[in-house]
Amino acid sequence: MFLKGNFLYTPSQTEFIILEKQYIQIEDGKVLGFFQDLPANTASSDVVDYGDDIIIPAFTDLHIHAPQYINRGLGFDEELLPWLENYTFPTEGRFSDTDFATRVYRVFLSRLKAEGTLCFSAFATIHKDATWQLMKIAEDMGLKGYVGKVNMDRNSPDYLLEDTERSLADTEELVLRSREELDRIRFIATPRFVPSTTEKLMTGLGRLCETYDLPVQSHLSENRHEVEWVRELHPNLPSYTAVYDAFGLLRPHKTLMAHAIYLSDEEKRLLKEKDVYLTHCAQSNANLTSGIMPLRENLTKGLTCTIASDVAAGHTPAMNKQIALTIEISKLYSLNHPTEKALTIGEGLYLATKGPGRFYGNVGSFEKGYDFDALVIHMDDSIEGLERTPSEKLQQFIYDGDDRNIIARYVNGNKI
């Protein structure tokens, strides 16, 4: 199969490739290569021509809370801990009702797909049955990614407080069932964050991760009060990061930690050593007055960072808007931090496509052998004399585009 159009992609943080009016060849769902002209005797039924439109890798969002979708935009006059207590926990409690959960998850996943996030890593809730529905619906919709049943057995309201053994047993059941029945959606261990997981639960999860070689996702150093609380809960461990490490929850190349704002040099050394992915949630961190992660400093130090939405603390799942906001905040931050060069548009695209896609596999680029997961974007430039270049179209889509501009979505070479 061949697609014709203007292709833009980022093989690395510093490379931004623009191929105008080319053909991409796709076989078995993967990119084979680009051609200036169609190879001789290609059947016309084998070619889709997208004309002047641009084609980019689909977005990957490695930190999003599926149940919180219904809360986006709510409660932002509070900081993290009261926001969790007053808004988030009561909402997540409702997911004990699997029918309700199924309805919400359908709407949530349809929105992700509409916005072009075709690969993701989501937190569900503590509820096993509702989590399974999220996994199953995502698989059936043709999306790819990770889903985790949240584990919490301390400092939580009684309706979200799990029995430790039960929490581990439910987790294991979902690991096994998803391996049996699903293909593109995988299970990820999901301790909510240190304050809501006992040492016994973290130990058990660390063991499950070993046994099944699971990836892990959680939250790290998001808010000053939260960091202080972790210090009080674990006075014998040197840092928040060290707590996860002590329980085998910093798995090399397989761990996602959201926020990571207030880190010591030693914590950064450890996170780099384990190649933990720091999922940077700029919009969430602004909404909950959490702080600003020194993105440039972290990237320069060789830490792996990605752009993520953190819905509902981030108010939109649209990754183009998350890229724009991350760049805007990095510019303001650079004013008072002269070594913090602002993020560029190419870097923003990378941190929302191949950067996070690497966590899943060969995802997020159009290099040979990559899964062809793509968005075809039409930006209207029909006003005479206002024709835009492919790069300009991408910039305008990132800043002011929405799902109406995405006219086709592909996963593994199939239009979904």
Cβ pair 259, 221 in contact under 8 A: yes
Binding mask 79-118 for ligand GUN (x = CB under 6 A): -x---x---x------------------------------
Question: At a CB cut-off of 8 Å and minimum separation 6, what does 15 contact?
Answer: 346
* CA R_g for the chain: 21
Identify whether 374 is preceded by a cis peptide bond (ω within 30 of 0): no
Q: Shortest distance, CB of residue 393 to ligand GUN, whole angstroms? A: 33
Cβ pair 354, 364 in contact under 8 A: yes
- Closer to ligand GUN by Cβ: residue 25 or 287: 287
Cβ pair 366, 354 in contact under 8 A: no
Segment 243-302, which members bind ligand GUN (CB under 6 A)?
A: 284
Three-state secondary structure call for residue 224: helix
Q: Shortest distance, CB of residue 365 to ligand GUN, whole angstroms? A: 29
DSSP H helices in 84-197: 89-93, 98-115, 128-140, 164-181
84 touches which of ligand GUN, Fe ion, none (CB within 5 to 8 A by kind)? ligand GUN
Q: Shortest distance, CB of residue 261 to ligand GUN, whole angstroms? A: 11
Does 63 help bind ligand GUN (rule: CB under 6 A)?
no
Does 193 help bind ligand GUN (rule: CB under 6 A)?
yes
4 touches which of ligand GUN, Fe ion, none (CB within 5 to 8 A by kind)? none
Q: Shortest distance, CB of residue 64 to Fe ion, whole angstroms? A: 8
How far is 363 from 356, CA to CA, in rounded Å?
A: 8
Binding mask 223-242 for ligand GUN (x = CB under 6 A): --------------------
Amino acid at 256: L
Q: Shortest distance, CB of residue 345 to ligand GUN, whole angstroms? A: 26
Q: Shortest distance, CB of residue 414 to ligand GUN, whole angstroms? A: 33
Beta pairing partners, 217: 256
Does 149 help bind ligand GUN (rule: CB under 6 A)?
no
| Structural tokens at position 118 | 């075709």
How far is 101 from 68, CA to CA, in rounded Å?
A: 11
Does 197 help bind ligand GUN (rule: CB under 6 A)?
no
Binding mask 303-322 for ligand GUN (x = CB under 6 A): -------x--x---------
The sheet carrying 59-65 orders its strands as 59-65, 117-123, 144-148, 185-187
Residues that bind Fe ion (CB under 5 A): 258, 310
Q: What residue ranges bind ligand GUN (CB under 6 A)?
A: 65, 80, 84, 88, 192-193, 219, 222, 284, 310, 313
